[in-house]
Amino acid sequence: MSKTAAAEKTAQPVKPAKAAKGSRATGRVTIVDVAAEARVSPMTVSRALKSPELVQQEARDRIAAAIRKLGYVPNQAASTLASARSQVIGVLVPSLTNAVFIETLSGIRDYLSQAGYQFLIGETGYSKEKESRLISTYLAHAPDGFLLSSSDQHDILRRQLAASNIPAVRMFDLGKSNSDMSVGFSQTKAGYAAARHLIERGYRRPAFLAAQLDPRMMKRREGFRKGLSEAGLDPDVEVLLPAPTTVDMGAQLLARVLEIAPDCDAVFCCNDDLALGALFECQRRGIKVPQQMAIAGFNDLSWAACATPSITTIVTPRYDIGYKAAEMLIRQLKGEPVEKARLDLGFELAVREST
Amino acid sequence: MSKTAAAEKTAQPVKPAKAAKGSRATGRVTIVDVAAEARVSPMTVSRALKSPELVQQEARDRIAAAIRKLGYVPNQAASTLASARSQVIGVLVPSLTNAVFIETLSGIRDYLSQAGYQFLIGETGYSKEKESRLISTYLAHAPDGFLLSSSDQHDILRRQLAASNIPAVRMFDLGKSNSDMSVGFSQTKAGYAAARHLIERGYRRPAFLAAQLDPRMMKRREGFRKGLSEAGLDPDVEVLLPAPTTVDMGAQLLARVLEIAPDCDAVFCCNDDLALGALFECQRRGIKVPQQMAIAGFNDLSWAACATPSITTIVTPRYDIGYKAAEMLIRQLKGEPVEKARLDLGFELAVREST
DNA sequence: CTGAAAGCGCTTACAG
DNA sequence: CTGAAAGCGCTTACAG
């Protein structure tokens, strides 16, 4: 049976399903079929796939031809069962309807796909309980690692991870110590930077507007308040709503802050969706931005730069957070040296027309 | 060994890893351990998990207690290998940075998670080649089904699916025949409805603005042109850009159409991102919306309703598309009757201030 | 309602 | 560089 052109053309599986009564044969082409076709042992086929450098060139060629001829697709479940490695990473993000996390997922995907990993995506809805439940579910799939977004390591989660012995990297927030792996930036410093900017521009009565009050938002708030206090300004001009963020809520928050503090001259919104809603509300009321009201956002989503006026915002490295977190995790899994257990990617302030 | 309170409290695995040299024991708690603890056979544990009604109540109780005591987590890979069913669905969407598809994923997740399925998400980047490649990758994970977003069934894809014998449901677009399962709405009719609305409002020189020229966009265009032609209006006022959609591009397209047709009095944007950008550009230029320029969008994303002015748009059932497509697929997998192989969920026109 | 045997398709851990 | 044997942890297909 030589490597004929005819054989090469056939891309379809040619294995007839076994007809034996009671047989469990799936009709699938297996590594055994490829081995027979290539006149080597199944073990050699396995090696040719995972560590080609251990296999003689000639054998490799015959195996490659056999794979093509038979249309062989490796069975990931069998591989996982035998090797106890699934090539799957569990990824948990707070929300999928938030563009921020989507871009982080893009970074994760770009790293993992080139590294040969798949991932399962879970949405925690900003809830620790849901996060724990998702981890339990995912454990059945024996993920090789986790990428998490929880802001602080609560006990249940810690115990689950310790019991399963599966490594995890936290994203967005930085861990307190180097014992946990984490990739992100300082939420507190970002909030502080926003305050400093508004103060330097001369605004004397800035407010903080926030929704979806997860721990990250509260850290941004903390930094913002610190900045105001240091400058001798009142840090208590703020409207906080626990409900999920929407553009429309930005409009509502702007309306509320004007009731509480009619002399408010600037708002720092904890994300760009709120900032956009606040801008729309100002337009509706005929309040000039930034002359009568400055608006700053957070994240630099697509519309911030091209709104009228363009919106000043904190540019966050969310794609890189996903990419680097995935890289850190995979390096750890491969036993490669991990440079830093705590990677601060920083942030930038984009100053635009709205402040 | 009775069901003591002490035993119930222990949530941690208590199995000591086998010490035998050369052993492949993973230290994991298996169905065999649970069976020993509950004094039944492994087969009965398996049944208690998958078809409890086939197992005596008393045995079920003992098994449940043993599972809790030992901290047993089923091994999905072993289950997949033995049963040839993975409980995984492969989902392919054109883009993850588009809110439309994210909401569809929410619908998919809500149905699949309650049905006990996981899913792998792939991003095709609107490319048929990439879609084919992703399907090949996913085949290694032996998904039980696919949820696809490709607009038309190209040959390579058809062959792949036929060869693997894995059922698929197409989303967004409706299939031509009932032989393919599909869930969506008529893109052409939606474009036509937008044209009719603008015409009835009295606009005489409407333009079509589009980016990301995938087949769905072209169908919206087709319907829009049909509407204009029928009313005796010029259908050729349009700006089409193949590049991916951004808010900023909406501004650019608006600028371009004003060069081509200075008397243009309305624009139908093929999505809300473009509509938002067009609105910003009008504001920048001091063009009054809708008095001097009407703007209509597509999808009804979060900002459309609360922009200033609020934006008229086509409301699309994207969450339901995901939910219903998942439902159709799972019903098919379970051998339950599938009502319609082609499910038209329709759309609505939300008339707002911008037109 | 329950169980013993065999097998799913790979990889590990040796041995050569 | 290559291969025979055993095993990963489940479920199928019987048989009782």
- Please name the nucleotide lying closest to A35, CA to C1': D3
Give chain A residues 26-45 with Cβ within 7 A of strand D: 40-41, 43-44
Q: How far is A247 from chain B (nearest CA, A)?
A: 6
List, for residues B180-200, the tens digit of each pLDDT value. 899 999 999 999 999 999 999
In the predicted structure, residue A245 carries a pLDDT above the cut 60: yes
What's the pLDDT band for A151 if we cut at 50, 70, 90?
Answer: low
Q: Do B307 and A118 touch (CB under 8 A)?
A: no
Arithmetic mean of pLDDT, B15-34: 66
Q: Do B141 and A76 touch (CB under 8 A)?
A: yes
Name the maximum alpha-carbon separation found in chain B: 88
Which helix (H) or strand (E) is A90 found in, with range? strand A88-93
Q: What is the pLDDT of residue A106?
A: 92
**Best of B96, B160, B272, B313 to mutate (most A CBs within 10 Å, chain A):** B96
* The total number of residues written for chain B in this structure: 355
Structure tokens at A117: 């990993």
Q: What is the pLDDT of residue A36?
A: 92
In the predicted structure, residue B313 carries a pLDDT above the cut 60: yes
A140 touches strand D (CB under 7 A): no
How far is A64 from B110, CA to CA, in rounded Å? 41
A5-74 belongs to which homologous superfamily? lambda repressor-like DNA-binding domains (1.10.260.40)
Q: What is the pLDDT of residue A68?
A: 92
Positions of chain D reached by protein Cβ under 7 A: 1-5, 7-14
List, for residues A263-283, the tens digit of each pLDDT value. 999 999 999 999 999 999 999
Nearest chain B residue to A301, by CA: B247
List, for residues A186-197, the tens digit of each pLDDT value. 999 999 999 999
The Å distance, CA of B23 to C1' of C12, is 9
Q: What is the pLDDT of residue A25?
A: 66
In the predicted structure, residue A18 carries a pLDDT above the cut 70: no
Q: How many Cβ contacts (< 8 angstroms) between chains A and B? A: 114
How far is B325 from A346, CA to CA, in rounded Å? 41
Strand order across the beta sheet in which A342-344 lies: A342-344, A181-184, A168-172, A145-148, A88-93, A118-123, B118-123, B88-93, B145-148, B168-172, B181-184, B342-344
Arithmetic mean of pLDDT, B331-352: 90
Strand order across the beta sheet in which B238-241 lies: B238-241, B206-211, B266-269, B294-299, B312-315, B348-350
CATH fold match for the domains A5-74 and A86-185+319-345: no
Q: What is the pLDDT of residue A191?
A: 98
What residues form DSSP beta bridges with A349?
A: A314
Of residues A121, A246, A247, nearest to B121 (C-beta): A121
A221 touches strand D (CB under 7 A): no
- Please name the nucleotide lying closest to A82, CA to C1': D8
Q: What is the pLDDT of residue A3?
A: 36
B271 touches strand D (CB under 7 A): no
CATH number of A86-185+319-345: 3.40.50.2300
Q: What is the pLDDT of residue A127?
A: 87
CB atoms within 10 A of CB B174: 19
What residues form DSSP beta bridges with B89?
A: B119, B145
**Best of B75, B100, B254 to mutate (most A CBs within 10 Å, chain A):** B75
The Å distance, CA of B87 to C1' of C7, is 20
CATH topology of domain B7-74: 434 Repressor (Amino-terminal Domain) (1.10.260)
Q: What is the pLDDT of residue A4?
A: 36
In the predicted structure, residue B13 carries a pLDDT above the cut 90: no
The DSSP call for residue A271 is S
Q: How many CA atoms, within 13 angstroms, populate the side-chain half-sphere of residue B188?
A: 5
In the predicted structure, residue B103 carries a pLDDT above the cut 80: yes
CATH topology of domain A187-315: Rossmann fold (3.40.50)
Residues of chain B contacting residue A96, judged by C-beta atoms under 8 Å apart: 102, 105-106
Q: What is the pLDDT of residue A289?
A: 96
Q: Do B306 and A280 touch (CB under 8 A)?
A: yes
B139 touches strand C (CB under 7 A): no
Find, among B198, B227, B185, B221, the residue nearest to B347 by Cα: B185
What's the pLDDT band for A2 if we cut at 50, 70, 90?
Answer: very low
Q: Do A74 and B123 touch (CB under 8 A)?
A: no
Find, among B40, B63, B42, the residue nearest to B52 by Cα: B63
Q: What is the pLDDT of residue A5?
A: 36
Q: Do A99 and B99 touch (CB under 8 A)?
A: yes
Residues of chain A contacting residue B305, judged by C-beta atoms under 8 Å apart: 248
Nearest chain A residue to B136, by CA: A73
Arithmetic mean of pLDDT, B308-316: 98
B62, B3 Cβ separation under 8 angstroms: yes
The Å distance, CA of B75 to C1' of D10, is 7
Q: What is the pLDDT of residue B274?
A: 97
**Best of B105, B113, B289, B308 to mutate (most A CBs within 10 Å, chain A):** B308
Give chain A residues 84-103 with Cβ within 7 A of strand D: 84
What's the pLDDT band for B8 if we cut at 50, 70, 90?
Answer: very low
Q: Do A140 and B71 touch (CB under 8 A)?
A: no
Residues of chain A contacting residue B75, judged by C-beta atoms under 8 Å apart: 81, 140, 142
Residues of chain B contacting residue A103, judged by C-beta atoms under 8 Å apart: 97
How far is B202 from A275, CA to CA, in rounded Å? 34
B290, B354 Cβ separation under 8 angstroms: yes
What's the pLDDT band for B329 if we cut at 50, 70, 90?
Answer: very high
SS3 B218: helix
Q: How far is A281 from chain B (nearest CA, A)?
A: 8
Arithmetic mean of pLDDT, B216-244: 96
Q: What is the mean pLDDT of chain B?
A: 89
Start-to-end CA span in chain A (Å): 76
Arithmetic mean of pLDDT, B143-151: 89
In the predicted structure, residue A41 carries a pLDDT above the cut 80: yes
CB atoms within 10 A of CB B43: 10
Q: How far is A71 from chain B (nearest CA, A)?
A: 10
Q: What is the pLDDT of residue A152?
A: 65
Of residues B86, B106, B283, nearest to A308 (C-beta): B283
Report the nearest residue to nucleotide D2, CA vs C1': A44
In the predicted structure, residue A57 carries a pLDDT above the cut 50: yes
Q: What is the pLDDT of residue B158?
A: 77
Nearest chain B residue to A141, by CA: B76
Q: What is the pLDDT of residue B153?
A: 62
Residues of chain A contacting residue B304, judged by C-beta atoms under 8 Å apart: none
In the predicted structure, residue A12 carries a pLDDT above the cut 60: no
Determine what percent of chain B is predicted with pLDDT higher than 90. 68
What's the pLDDT band for A11 if we cut at 50, 70, 90?
Answer: very low
What's the pLDDT band for A338 if we cut at 50, 70, 90?
Answer: confident
**Residue extents of the structural domains in chain B:** 7-74, 86-185+319-345, 187-315
Kindly report which listed range (A19-28, A209-218, A337-346, B34-43) carries the lowest average pLDDT score.
Answer: A19-28
In angstroms, the Cα distances linking B223 to A17, B165, B186 are 48, 35, 10
Handedness of CA B323, B329, B335, B339 (dihedral sign): positive
